[in-house]
Structure 1
Amino acid sequence: MSTGTSTFVIRWINFLTTLLAIAVIGFGVWMSTHHDGCRKSLTVPVLGLGTIIFVISMIGFLGAVKNNSIMLWIYLIMLCFILVAILVFTVFAFIVTNNGSGHNVAGLRYKEYQLQDYSSWFLKQLKNSHSWKQLKHCLVKSDNCNNLSKKYKTLTQYKLAKLTPIESGCCRPPSECGYPAVNASYYDLSFHPISSNKDCKLYENFKHVKCYDCDSCKAGVAEYMKTEWRAVAIFNVVLFIVLSIIYFIGCCARRNAARNRSKV
């Protein structure tokens, strides 16, 4: 690749990623001023990501503008670390999301989830009392369970609904408990549970209790996390390919910059 082409491409790619980094940092600042504690917990990672992208992009941009081989070397080294990190995280994400799936229940269109089906890494995170306390707070605040009765006006609609993993695991008791559903958000708990599952005793109709302390709820969150992580892993594969191409172009730009410097 010619000197002009490689430096031109690197220059504009990093100019665009610098603008992206500024947008990410701005989004992180906005999240820090938001009153939702669940969103605030993401502030530091978002700001950190924006800062890293900004620093690397500026080094690459200035290196291409000034045709400086040293700055391009630094840019390539940092980009190499990112490529390795993306590769490691992607492999890890595919490994931890390999296990776990829902179980069909007769008469229902949605599935139920069991905690033991998921990877040990997910189990460790979800069984941590401090981590689950924060997650539980966010689940209660999201009000997903209380909105079920608004979404499904009749019991028939509720039974035919396709509930999300979190709605299925956190908003209702497991089907094996045998509690009759009065509506989408209320169960008749006067019946003696036909199962020894501890979740049957943990479920309450109160909006702040529901089944948030149940293993079925943790399993529903694990299924949600599995889906999200798998989507991120697939995105990372695409990102890895794109960054590899940029890395190759950067290598050409650095080599050409070093060649031009030796001619001076």
Structure 2
Amino acid sequence: MKCSNSLVGLLNFITFLLSIPILGGGIWLAHKATTDCEKYLEKPVIALGVFLLVVSLAGFIGACCRVNWLLWVYLVVMFILIVILFCFTIFAFVVTNKGAGEVVSNRGYKEYKLGDYSNWLQKRVDNSKNWNRIRSCLIDGKVCQKLAQERNIGATDFFAKHLSPIESGCCKPPEDCQFAYESPTSWNKNGNVTSNNPDCGAWNNNSTTLCYDCTSCKAGFLQNLKSDWKRVAVINIVFLVFLIIVYSIGCCAFRNNRWDSADPWKPYR
């Protein structure tokens, strides 16, 4: 068989094998998921598994069995995927361009303001339906549990700690509330709050409330999302280069198929 056909067949066979555990994981989540986060993931995982399964079969059969229309469908899907990934990569860099933590005097951590981030991201987390789902995931993920277990840590040591954006925004009240420190996730409002920050009223020492309803928590989540999206965008660039190479090889295989179909008496080598 021609080299390009063999390469496309091999790559799609590997993709087919990878799609099986992905699809299996989605089906497992559909039957075993207990938290809202897990239930939210089941449909995208199943859809990804089915997509990879169908596309890899189309590419494998089209290249190895010289089925032109299947290989043509495969190349069209690959082209659309390349365009979508390219657009998403540009979009990810644009919407995550704004936003950064603010250094707090004599503190080892930063604080985050929702207004510092792009309007598109702000609208996503300000949507009550979206935030209730994110809030549920944060609680299920026990993002504040590590801090809650450090009950014996003193105020000086706590203020010197490096906190993640989500820990800083969701697990403690903002600095301008001037609450009295008791433990990392327990603060005394002491009735002397003069700040106009609505987060001061949203804070509660209950482990399922804390500052999960604060704008600072939304900002901390966006800072974490921003870092993740930037990493994903960089990975996408590498993946795009790989997809373009595979697409080019697929085009060669399609040309070979047409060449063989045009003259069936030519030797297939």
> When the two structures are superposed, what TM-score results if normalisation uses the length of structure 1?
0.95
Distance 1:214 1:239, change over 3 A: same
Deviation at 1:141, TM superposition (A): 2.4
Task: Provide the residue aligned with 1:215 in structure 2.
Answer: 215
Does 134-143 or 116-125 show the bigger shift? 134-143
SS at the partner of 1:6?
A: helix
Distance 2:257 2:157 in 1: 67
Task: Provide the residue aligned with 1:77 in structure 2.
Answer: 76
Task: Provide the residue aligned with 1:12 in structure 2.
Answer: 10
Runs of 4+ in 1 over 6 A off after TM superposition: none
Aligned residues between the structures: 262
Distance 1:136 1:192 in 2: 29
Does 150-159 or 22-31 show the bigger shift? 150-159
- AA at the equivalent of 1:19: L
Distance 1:107 1:239, change over 3 A: same
Distance 2:77 2:151 in 1: 52
- AA at the equivalent of 1:199: D
Is the 2:89–2:237 Cα contact (8 Å) retained in structure 1? yes
Task: Provide the residue aligned with 1:190 in structure 2.
Answer: 190
Deviation at 1:158, TM superposition (A): 2.0
Deviation at 1:142, TM superposition (A): 2.3
Is the 1:93–1:229 Cα contact (8 Å) retained in structure 2? yes
Distance 2:14 2:140 in 1: 37
Superposition RMSD in Å: 1.4
Is the 1:114–1:219 Cα contact (8 Å) retained in structure 2? yes
Q: Provide, for residues 64-104 of structure 1, a one-character-per-residue CA deviation record: whole Å limited to 9, x for no partner.
A: 11122222111111111111111111111111111111001
Task: Provide the residue aligned with 2:267 in structure 1.
Answer: none
Q: How is 1:174-185 mapped onto 2 (pairs within 5 angstroms)?
A: 174-185=174-185
Is the 2:135–2:212 Cα contact (8 Å) retained in structure 1? yes
SS at the partner of 2:2?
A: helix
Distance 2:96 2:50 in 1: 29
Distance 2:151 2:86 in 1: 43
- AA at the equivalent of 1:213: D
Is the 2:35–2:140 Cα contact (8 Å) retained in structure 1? no
Is the 1:64–1:253 Cα contact (8 Å) retained in structure 2? yes
Tell whether 2:233 aligns with 1:260. no
Distance 2:187 2:145 in 1: 13
Task: Provide the residue aligned with 1:88 in structure 2.
Answer: 87
Distance 1:238 1:112 in 2: 33
Is the 2:107–2:159 Cα contact (8 Å) retained in structure 1? yes
Distance 2:141 2:65 in 1: 50
- AA at the equivalent of 1:170: C
Distance 1:253 1:152, change over 3 A: farther
Task: Provide the residue aligned with 1:140 in structure 2.
Answer: 139
SS at the partner of 2:149?
A: helix
Distance 2:49 2:161 in 1: 40
Distance 1:95 1:10 in 2: 34
Is the 1:69–1:255 Cα contact (8 Å) retained in structure 2? no
Unaligned runs of 5+ in 1: none
Distance 1:145 1:248 in 2: 48
Distance 2:22 2:145 in 1: 33
Is the 1:115–1:123 Cα contact (8 Å) retained in structure 2? yes
